[in-house]
Structure formats: C-alpha cells, structure tokens
Amino acid sequence: MGKHPDVAVVGGGIIGLTCAYFLARAGLSVEVFDRGDLGKEASWAGAGILPPGNPERAATAVDRLRAIGSQRFPEFSAELRELTGLDNGYLRCGGIEFLDTAEVGEVLQLWDAEGIAFERLTPAELRSYEPRIGDVEGEPYLLPGCAQVRNPRHLQALIAGCARVGVKLHPHTPIHNVTEARDRAGRVLIAAGPWSESFLASTACSGPGVHPVRGQIVLLKTPSRTFTRVLMLGKRYLVPRFDGHVLIGSTEEPKAGFEKGNTPEAVADLIALATRTVPALQAAETVKCWSGLRPASPDGCPFIGPVPGWDNVFVATGHFRAGVQLSLGTATAITELFTGKPTCVPLAAFAVDRVPHSGGKAAFRS
C-alpha cells in the first residue's frame, strides 16, 4: 500500500478544492475524496458574485475573508488560466446595490471604513449606467469594484489546476466517518458542505449545526446584453453574463432539507423579480433552472480550524451563500495553519465550539 498523503480533504466543492490547491502549492501531498462528482453541488450552482473589498480595513473576520478573495481573484484566475488553459469567466463588471433606507447608514459606514469605492446614484444617473432598468425599491449605490466569475467554468479550471499541481482526486469515493478519513492521511480536512455535520457529529465536540438551505436559480437568455452590472437587491440578485445569459437568484429554503429541486412558485417569483427589475427581460428565453444546497451555520459564519478533541482533524465548512467569495481567504488560512504560519484571520472567530453570535452586520448580503 502506498504512502499516505499529508492531507486528506473530504469534500470536493469549491472550499475543499481551493484548500487542496493551496496546500499542494505549499508543498504538501493532498488527496480529495468526494461522494459524487467534484464541484457539482452548491459550488456549481451559485452565481459567482465577488463584492469589492480591502482586507486591511475589513470590520469583521468574515469580511476579511471576503476581501481577501476580492483582492486575489484576478491573479488567481490568471494563474489557473496559465496553468490549465481554461478561462473561469472572471470579469470586473461593477455592481449596483439597492439598499433599504433603514440600513443605508450602517452599510455605508462599513463600506467607508473598509475603503470600498461607492457612489449614490440619482434616478437619472442610474439610468445613464443601466438604461433598461425598471422601478426598483431601495436606494441605488454604484460599486465599481464588484466582479463576477462563472461558477461551472471556475470549478472546471480549479479541478484541472488541482490535478496539475499534484492533488490526487477521488470522485465517487465516499468517506463515511472521521475515523475512516484519519486512516487515509496525516491530517484530515472536513469540507463537505452541509454533509460535514454527519462527520462532526461523531467527534468529541458533537455537531456544530451545519445544515442545508436550498437555493433556487433561474437562467435566462437574451440575444444581446440588456444590462452590464450585477444588480443586488437584498438577498436576491441579477447577474449578467457577457454572452447574454442572466442568472436570477436566489431563494432561501431551510425547510427543504437535503431535497434539491425547483418549484413552480419559486421559479415564477424569480422571473417576476427579473422582469420588474429589467422589463426588457420579459422577452428573454428561460433556459433552465436548478437548485443547490448551501451549508449554513447557526450564526452565519463558517467553521474553519481544528476540531476539538482531535489532533489531526480540521474543518472548513458552513460558508452558506458565500463559498466563492470566501474560498481564497479560507484556503489561505488553512494553508497557513497547516504550515505553521500566523493566519490571515483570527481563527477563534470561526471555531467549531464557539458560542453562536451575531458577528456584526456583514458589509454585503448577496
């Protein structure tokens, strides 16, 4: 039997794969195990919104993770493209966030403290940027630093990149418990999204409460682009791709459990949101719809770091709606932890055995 790798990653979504890539780049031998196809759960299903950020001035630990991703995604996308020949669709397209009047003061204070560029738009200015926009509730703010990535393309490039840097990939290879995982490697990283709970529930710390929240998305297609910036409306969004496709999302359905699927009511509601926001989308073709199971935590923050009671078991899960945004920061922190360096964020904020907390308002909701 061959030598065990330094790290076995349980879960081949964007968090597990990005951690594996970074760890391999740092010189560790890594293997990834997934119960199904790599990158085909919530990571594949998301919209790929990348809000702007400044890691040095972010107000909270989770905002710092998001800001690390915002800062490093252009370089990382270029690195994957050079390594694999695959373009993940990264595009700094800008965004417009519509804020409720009651939250404007608090959100703008966070943006200003972090040094994020933004601009309040008058109705005339809004339509000069996006002439086809309809009547949208909320105060519009331009975020020129907002970007996007196409999730399926990014996962394809990331999987290929992992293979190129020596990560051994094992799709359709379920790991059933922590003990089995420990028998395969020097260290274990649990990054199995909402399925992480079944692993953590068997440890001394018991399960921290990671659970699935279903999100439904609709994909539309127009002959040409009807708008160019990401439109963020609370927890919902419209994301324009450069080829005329438009992603409309997303629902939050914690009661759906592990059942994926689309409902006629949710699909109709998302299409209605799209046509209210951009009336020209009434003529768009509905291409398809899908759903993903996002891993939520009790307080909205991910779990990153060691599992109490186990000297070689670690976790990176519970990233909920922000897996893409937080992936580079999470992978950076895990790699620093595994190589004995100071971490880019205080891991106590993401401890598995922490008391759930509000954590403060995040700078972005989508």
Q: For residue range 102-112, list pLDDT tens digits in order.
A: 999 999 999 99
Alpha carbons within 13 A on the beta-carbon side of 214 = 15
Q: State which fold the 95-145+211-296 domain adopts.
A: D-Amino Acid Oxidase; Chain A, domain 2 (3.30.9)
> What secondary structure does DSSP assign to 16-80, as a single string?
HHHHHHHHHHTT--EEEE-SSSTT-SHHHHS--EE----GGG-SSHHHHHHHHHHHHHHHHHHHH
Sole residue written with tokens 């450069």 = 242
Residue 217: CB atoms within 10 Å: 23
Measured in residues, the chain has a length of 366
CA angle 144, 146, 151 (to 5 degrees): 150
Annotated domain spans of the chain = 7-88+150-209+298-350, 95-145+211-296
pLDDT tens digits, one per residue of 3-26: 899 999 999 999 999 999 999 999
Is the CA virtual torsion 191, 193, 198, 200 positive or negative?
A: positive
Q: Would the CA dihedral through 197, 5, 310, 162 be positive or negative?
A: negative
Tell whether the torsion through CA atoms of 324, 325, 330 and 332 is positive or negative.
positive
Please determine, for residue 2, whether its predicted confidence score (pLDDT) is greater than 60: no
- Least confident stretch, 7-21, 106-120, 280-294, 351-365: 351-365
Q: Percent of the chain having pLDDT more than 90?
A: 87
3.30.420.40, 3.40.50.300, 3.30.1360.120, 3.50.50.60: CATH of 7-88+150-209+298-350? 3.50.50.60
Mean predicted confidence (pLDDT) in 156-180: 95
pTM above threshold 0.85: yes
What are the start-end ranges of the E strands in 136-183? 139-143, 147-148, 168-170
| Residue 150, helix vs strand vs coil | coil
* Mean pLDDT of the 229-256 span: 96
Closest CA to 142 of 172, 111, 101, 110: 111
Report H helices in 233-280.
264-277
